[in-house]
Chain A
């Protein structure tokens, strides 16, 4: 990490899991080097301030819940962040994500999967930490790195695997593929290949939730939308356009930045004038939070607050999760530009190992139970692969289906007559 932005005096810091940030402090003096990510502790010493201000301001404030978490843990009687059931749920979800992606790699090299496949190894804490807090009706909008988001949201592993094999039993009947996972049942609305494309769509989904509550008067509609995207996307115009409109109209959305420091081979620091993405939230009038994305418990704490904020109608939040992808950008990426020490450093902070350690140390579970979960997931995946293998390819007749929602695209309804000739075609009563 330090090598991407050469700063000799900050080489190889012993990173711990806290990354404190605070808006009101002058973060960097112009002459100091600033590979802030993961080493903000060093930054803090540079700015010579010893006290961390943890008070949350109402809007536009930037804070690190990781410090609140630490405070909570150290000051009061040690109360755990999760119960045993929650812990096991989180563990199982992360293991499912990891094992699924590993299985994808295997299948790809065996030729069962093809095209573009982007794997999520290393980033599971974000998907699990956020999506496991959602209800079924809340929506998730993702990018091309969407397999694990689909799994966390509840799409069955069988459906995702078949979709990747291009079989007709896939969640999109084989018509979407790796980058276009949609499930209206689980409210996973994509799956977008273009950088930044999902953000306005997510903002629209949040808009529809607000519209339903306020205009259509569906009283209990408090659905929240999560938009996941990466560090490279944060330089795209659409990102800023949507931060503006979401804050302007106070939409129930959480913008989750999965900052894995690399956009294919372009380091975040080489591409961005100000690499601290969370600061861009307050510029538009919403809180910006930075959290360690390799620690599922910290992510979950931040997510709880951000999602609750959105549900209460207080508007959007920008959450930047610092994370890392253990594999290349896609399975076609030779991944030569990243420094092995950087990779090793993040591999040591593997979120699954960290959670396992937490569960065992706090006596929430034992080795045997966790191993049983591992085995269960392995069997689930074997079954999914078998199911996908045995599923049929889409029939020829499927090629021309689903282009339009109405059967022939001529405005003709299912009864074969023009829709416009049906006097009951409008809802409600027309009075002019």
Chain B
């Protein structure tokens, strides 16, 4: 069992790191700090190096070094045949990726943001997700669609939508959403090795954040299992589920709640589809209260699915109604103060947790 390494770095977030995969090798407990960007880059690098069938395609992935520099250095290393700069043709190049995957190659298709994937969604759903079923198992599609998802800073309505619930409602797709560097590395590697289509939802604002990782995470065969959530922080009073950037917010909210004597359990979903219902339900059975946090639109969102799952399986254990914290039910505004109101903030999570614990709180406008 590895020792937990905890470090407080100036201005960085503080976490307990417990790797999800236990390995019998022993590693030194000195932790390194890497950004999510470097984690993704190293994961792509290692997978491309290990398997010649893996190739990248997308806009600006090559000579521009990646629109967000995720694919930096890969063109130089692997050449233009494996790192393809495509024209601006989402539908076309996504379909090309799917066709190549039909024949056993392993494309990693980058969307500059997942908003642009709407131009290619026909291929993601109809040619990739459904093919294994329609062909009765003859044709599998080992493709990864990755890119930043959700709101960034001041980019406006057409660049800020979260697509987790859209893709997660479709059978045949796996949908992953990492939070920290360990998630980013492990889940991207698992996604590339997976024989099915995977939608990998990153977050632009997390790219630059550093997290500490153990040596095990930096090993080239490190992988995280798909479909398992991680309990980032244990607690006993209320369960907070989140994914991507909201995990960071939830953890900060948990710290604030601790001062008021509420110990929140924070679950990092990691995998939106398949959803780790057993971990969520086990946690709710322990704490009896649930808050779901997400950045996307509230109706038919990830929180709605988690709520339904908990009601179906653990109804008798609930002591309070499930609360969903989601983005505002409006297209993302541009003005900075309105944008702040349209996305969940840490205070919203704290207030919701207190409501769930029946502490009296001043009523304020909820997102």
Q: Which of A190, A237, A410, A430 contacts B221 (CB 8 A)?
A: A430
Nearest chain A CB to B23 CB, angstrom units: 9
Task: Identify the closest chain B residue to A191 (Cβ).
Answer: B134
Nearest chain A CB to B198 CB, angstrom units: 9
Does B98 make an interface contact (CB < 8 A)?
Answer: yes
Stretch in A12-20, A55-63, A416-424 with 4+ CB within 8 Å of B: A416-424
Nearest chain B CB to A38 CB, angstrom units: 32
Does A425 make an interface contact (CB < 8 A)?
Answer: yes
Contacts A200-B94, A403-B171, A411-B194: A245 and B220 contacting too (C-beta < 8 A)?
A: no
Nearest chain A CB to B226 CB, angstrom units: 3
Convert A28-50 into 0s and 1s, putting 1 for each residue whose CB lies closer than 8 angstroms to a CB of B: 00000000000000000000000
Does A89 make an interface contact (CB < 8 A)?
Answer: no
Contact A204 B135 (CB under 8 A): no
Does B205 make an interface contact (CB < 8 A)?
Answer: no
What residues of B have a CB within 8 angstroms of the CB of A205 in the complex? 99-100, 102-103
Does A9 make an interface contact (CB < 8 A)?
Answer: no
Task: Identify the closest chain A residue to B190 (Cβ).
Answer: A420
Contacts A175-B136, A241-B89: A202 and B193 contacting too (C-beta < 8 A)?
A: no
For the complex, what is the distance from the CA of A209 to the CA of B96, rounded to whole Å?
12
For the complex, what is the distance from the CA of A200 to the CA of B221, rounded to whole Å?
33
What residues of A have a CB within 8 angstroms of the CB of B82 in the complex? 215
What residues of A have a CB within 8 angstroms of the CB of B220 in the complex? 430-432
Q: Which of A192, A245, A405 contacts B132 (CB 8 A)?
A: A405
Nearest chain B CB to A266 CB, angstrom units: 21
Contact B227 A411 (CB under 8 A): yes
Contacts A208-B105, A409-B196: A237 and B91 contacting too (C-beta < 8 A)?
A: yes
Contact A402 B137 (CB under 8 A): yes
Interface positions, chain B 56-82, Cβ under 8 Å from A, are 81-82
Stretch in A111-119, A178-186, A360-368 with 4+ CB within 8 Å of B: A178-186
Interface positions, chain A 228-272, Cβ under 8 Å from B, are 237-238, 241-242, 244-245, 248
Task: Identify the closest chain A residue to B128 (Cβ).
Answer: A201
Q: How many residues of B contact A (CB 8 A)?
A: 66
Convert A202-226 into 0s and 1s, putting 1 for each residue whose CB lies closer than 8 angstroms to a CB of B: 1111111101101110000000000
Does A189 make an interface contact (CB < 8 A)?
Answer: yes
Contact B134 A216 (CB under 8 A): no
Q: How many residues of A contact B (CB 8 A)?
A: 64
Does A109 make an interface contact (CB < 8 A)?
Answer: no
What residues of A have a CB within 8 angstroms of the CB of B102 in the complex? 189, 201, 204-205, 208
Nearest chain B CB to A385 CB, angstrom units: 21
Contact A426 B190 (CB under 8 A): no
Convert B172-200 into 0s and 1s, putting 1 for each residue whose CB lies closer than 8 angstroms to a CB of A: 10100000000000100110011110000
What residues of B have a CB within 8 angstroms of the CB of A245 in the complex? 86-87, 89, 92-93, 96
Contact B226 A242 (CB under 8 A): no
Contact A194 B137 (CB under 8 A): no
Contact B50 A428 (CB under 8 A): yes
Does B225 make an interface contact (CB < 8 A)?
Answer: yes
A-B contact pairs, 13 of them (CB 8 A): A172-B134, A194-B126, A197-B127, A199-B95, A204-B96, A205-B99, A205-B103, A207-B99, A238-B95, A405-B195, A411-B174, A411-B226, A432-B42
Knowing that A204-B102, A420-B190, A420-B226 touch, tell me 16 more A-B residue pairs with CB under 8 angstroms: A175-B136, A190-B131, A192-B127, A201-B99, A203-B92, A204-B100, A205-B99, A207-B100, A211-B55, A241-B92, A245-B86, A245-B89, A403-B132, A409-B227, A410-B228, A426-B50
- Measured CB to CB, the residues of B under 8 A from A are 21, 42, 45-47, 49-53, 55, 81-82, 86-87, 89, 91-105, 122-123, 126-127, 131-142, 171-172, 174, 186, 189-190, 193-196, 220-221, 223-228, 274
Closest 6 A-B residue pairs measured CB to CB?
Answer: A204-B99, A200-B95, A420-B223, A241-B92, A405-B140, A411-B226
- Measured CB to CB, the residues of A under 8 A from B are 139, 141, 172-176, 180, 182-185, 189-194, 197, 199-209, 211-212, 214-216, 237-238, 241-242, 244-245, 248, 401-406, 409-411, 418-421, 423, 425-432
